[in-house]
Amino acid sequence: MKELELACEQFRTLLSEQLERVAKMNDEKVDYSAKDVITIGIVAGDGIGPIIMDQAVRVLHKLLDDKIAAGKICIKTIEGLTIENRLRLGKPVPEDVLAQIKSCDVLLKGPTTTPMGGKMESANVTLRRELDLYANVRPVCIPEEGIDWVFYRENTEGEYVLGSRGVELPGMAVDFKVTTDAGTRRIARAAFEYARQNGKNRVSIVTKANIMKKTDGKFTAICHEVAENYPGITADDWYIDIMTANLVNPAIRNQFQVFVLPNLYGDIITDEAAQIQGGVGTAGSANIGDRYAMFEAIHGSAPRMLEEGLGDYANPASILKAEAMLLRHICCAEEAQKLEAALAACKTVVTGDANGATCQSYADSLMELL
């Protein structure tokens, strides 16, 4: 059967590419405290992205103007990562845009639209692969309920690494999931290191290893190997389906601390966790690699808000929380603490419609607190 032979050849190509990817992995970390100049790239994104990013940049300048004036921080605006430009060029991230991004140390990024169907993968998936941003870190905190969760989602493998390159045969379609030893070991180390450094004593490993025995089975086994190097931290196993239930169970959910999980499960469950916190508009996200890092809102570009004339009412809290994570990452802990305190104290309410405050009025209130 000709189609089967072509599919097998395509699969061979994919496997070869993944082996090459693993061979290029390294663990040479950047020491931001030793850099003379740190460049922050700004990518507005699509839909409500430019609206919330305008306010995020205002706040960034308010906090960093002294360091910018002293030449220690450079803020660089990067154009061209719009859905219109990407569709025109047929590229999830155009080459010239990627080159600009790679000239930066960290990226503050607004939401980007991913076309439904077709073969173009998401800009985020491309950036995570090209910049090797293997750890997606998403904190969720609800102090009044005793909830202080941090999710470490593997960011470069799983179903997403080949999600746009599956195989179609007559009457059948097959996508691929990839789990490597090296990729799993580094996300597990990142989660356990965070737990150790922040006084946490529990890391929950979340998979579906009873069904996905090769990929999720490998993920679980390697996480436990890494856990052996962290005495005093308990590693426990959960299946993704029951963990989604646990997060909405008030009797036990405040017992969880740090989670480590493969790509797809992490994508889904962190949206659930953000909704528990108050909505996806309330949560920030970090994508961390050894060389680069990208910080973004976890929500999408919300084209419907623009269609309904509600873009000015978009909630900037998510991108601002991501901004606080960015500041900590580049060793600006004092500025990050100021922003986090202002976010916690701000009483202006954005509801996403004309019943609440606008994006700009929320930022105005925040600026006064800063």
CA distance 351 to 304: 15
pLDDT at 203 over 80: yes
Structure tokens at 264: 């797809």
Task: Look at residue 264 and tell me if it is in a domain.
Answer: no
Task: Look at residue 109 and tell me if it is in a domain.
Answer: yes
The number of folded domains in the chain is: 1
Task: Look at residue 198 and tell me if it is in a domain.
Answer: no
Per the prediction, the chain carries an average pLDDT of 93
Residues 6 or more apart whose CB falls under 8 angstroms from that of 55 comprise 316, 319, 320, 359, 360, 362, 363
Residue type for position 190 = A
High-pLDDT (> 70) share of the chain, %: 99
Tally Cβ neighbours within 10 Å of residue 215. Answer: 21
Residue type for position 29 = K
- DSSP secondary structure, 122-141, as one string: PHHHHHHHHTT--EEEEEEE
Task: Look at residue 83 and tell me if it is in a domain.
Answer: yes
Q: Residue 344's domain is classified under what CATH number?
A: 3.40.718.10
Hey, is 140 helix, strand or coil?
Answer: strand
Task: Look at residue 203 and tell me if it is in a domain.
Answer: no
Structural domain span for residue 59: 31-133+289-370
Rounded to the nearest 5 percent, the helix, strand and coil shares of the chain are: 45, 20, 35
Task: Look at residue 274 and tell me if it is in a domain.
Answer: no
Task: Look at residue 253 and tell me if it is in a domain.
Answer: no
Tens-digit pLDDT profile for residues 232-284: 999 999 999 999 999 999 999 999 999 999 999 999 999 999 899 988 777 78
pLDDT at 115 over 90: no
Secondary structure element (H or E) that encloses residue 61, with its range:
helix 49-69
Tens-digit pLDDT profile for residues 349-368: 998 888 999 999 999 999 99
CB contact at 8 A, 78 and 42: yes
Tens-digit pLDDT profile for residues 64-112: 999 999 999 999 999 999 999 999 999 999 999 999 999 999 999 999 9
Shortest CA distance to 284 belongs to which of 237, 345, 327, 332? Answer: 327
Tens-digit pLDDT profile for residues 55-65: 999 999 999 99
High-pLDDT (> 90) share of the chain, %: 75
Tens-digit pLDDT profile for residues 141-177: 999 999 999 999 999 999 988 877 888 888 988 889 9
What pLDDT shows up at residue 24? Answer: 84
Mean pLDDT of 305-319: 93
pLDDT at 1 over 80: no
CA distance 272 to 259: 14
Task: Look at residue 163 and tell me if it is in a domain.
Answer: no
CA distance 135 to 128: 9
Residues 6 or more apart whose CB falls under 8 angstroms from that of 77 comprise 41, 42
